[in-house]
Amino acid sequence: MAKNKAKATQVTKEELQKIQELVNNINAAQMRVGEYELEKANLLSGIINAKNQFADLQDTLRKKYGDVIVNIQDGSLKPKEDEQADQKN
């Protein structure tokens, strides 16, 4: 039968340092993930806000110019019917 080892009352200094290092690395990574998730939520909110503003502007322009397509390069207007005809050809 093997002799019982004396029960340790604590880990070694090196083991404690390794444990602390790994826990700190995990905590730091979790903190960074949280920061990225918050940034992601802010960006998604910004996208939704921009889409809502774009929809409002489209409504305003539709009331002013009718059902047209706006060329975003030069601002020219084209009747929507012309666009649909171009897609059929």
pLDDT over 60 (residue 1): no
Evaluate if residue 2 carries a pLDDT over 60.
no
Query: To 10 degrees, the CA torsion angle through 65, 74, 48, 83?
Result: 60
In contact, 78 and 71? CB cutoff 8 Å: yes
Q: What confidence tier does 5 reach under pLDDT thresholds 50, 70, 90? A: confident
pLDDT of residue 6: 73
Cα separation of 55 and 47, whole Å?
12
Q: pLDDT digit string (tens) for 35-85? A: 999 999 999 999 999 999 999 999 999 999 999 999 999 999 999 876 666
| Residue 89 predicted with pLDDT over 60 | no
Q: Is the dihedral of CA 64, 66, 71, 72 positive or negative?
A: positive
Contact 80, 69 (CB under 8 A): yes
pLDDT of residue 13: 97
Contacts of 19 (CB under 8 A, 6+ apart): 11
